[in-house]
Amino acid sequence: MEDAGGYGVSLTMPLATSFGEIREYAETDVAALVKYANNRNIRLNLRDAFPHPYTEAHAREFLAIVHRQNPTTFFTLAVDGEAVGGIGLVIGEDVHRLTAELGYWLGEPFWGQGITTEAVRLFTKFAFERFGLVRIFAAPYAGNLASGRVLEKAGFALEGRLRASAIKDNRILDQFLFARVQLPG
Ligand SMILES: CC(C)(COP(=O)(O)OP(=O)(O)OC[C@H]1O[C@@H](n2cnc3c(N)ncnc32)[C@H](O)[C@@H]1OP(=O)(O)O)[C@@H](O)C(=O)NCCC(=O)NCCS
């Protein structure tokens, strides 16, 4: 059992947190996913691959993708057992294979309670160890100040501003590049 920086939990899934846990998705999460992911304020801050409206079919399709993952890199934030958000990684390839992009979202009724900050902190620590990564980065749209704040609080450093690097809803947007680096040894 290893201590995860003050949380006193093992770095294997599920990860115990003060709000509940970070755990693998289950087939029974469909209804909760639709309930919380079908939200314009969430969609606006994510990639277009995150659908809107978010239907039961989308949830099932997503769970099928997760089911096929090897290794699993997409997990859910659960409060009282209910899947109220998501956190996951896309691991790079070739020379980027020790790097991963982090993404996350949380159901709007739970915003502002520090849940995502705790989840990002703990999940990042888990991810460095589990996947042998040296770099984890995230690139929120420049207007997404809450996400930037989450990353800062979770120990990510602001590395720069990626100018005109995304197009969302026909608007060309800058992104902030945040990263945490953990070299071996
Ligand atoms: C971003 C998101 C995950 C934050 O989750 P959360 O659990 O509410 O985050 P936390 O409570 O841990 O921290 C939020 C911080 O942002 C701050 N914040 C919130 N809205 C803000 C705003 N409009 N401007 C500046 N800071 C803001 C909060 O005050 C808090 O910081 P503080 O603790 O210093 O006061 C959530 O809003 C979300 O799911 N958004 C849509 C999806 C998304 O943006 N995903 C990330 C893509 S990169």
Question: What pLDDT does 184 receive?
Answer: 85
Question: What pLDDT does 9 receive?
Answer: 45
* 36 in any annotated domain: yes
Counting from 1 in the atom list of ligand 1, the atom nearest the Cα of 106 is 39
* 157 in any annotated domain: no
CATH value at residue 75: 3.40.630.30
Question: What pLDDT does 182 receive?
Answer: 97
Specify whether the backbone of 108 is left (phi greater than 0), alpha (psi in -120 to 50) or beta: alpha
* 141 in any annotated domain: no
CA-closest candidate to residue 44, choices 117, 98, 105, 102: 105
Can you give the pTM of this predicted structure? 0.95
Residues 112-166: tens digit of each pLDDT: 999 999 999 999 999 999 999 999 999 999 999 999 999 999 999 999 999 999 9
Mutate to test the pocket of ligand 1, among 117, 153, 174, 177 (most ligand atoms within 8 A of CB): 117
Task: Measure the CA–CA gap between 157 and 147, rounded to whole angstroms.
Answer: 13
* 69 in any annotated domain: yes
* 118 in any annotated domain: yes
* 143 in any annotated domain: no
Q: Number of structural domains, the chain? A: 1
Per DSSP, helices labelled H in the chain are 30-37, 40-43, 56-68, 115-131, 145-153
- Ligand 1 pocket residue status of 33, Cβ below 6 Å: no
Q: Which domain holds residue 33?
A: 15-135
Residues of the chain scoring pLDDT < 50? 1-9
Q: Which residues contact 180 (CB under 8 A, 6 or more apart)?
A: 124, 135, 136, 137, 154, 155, 156, 157
* 77 in any annotated domain: yes
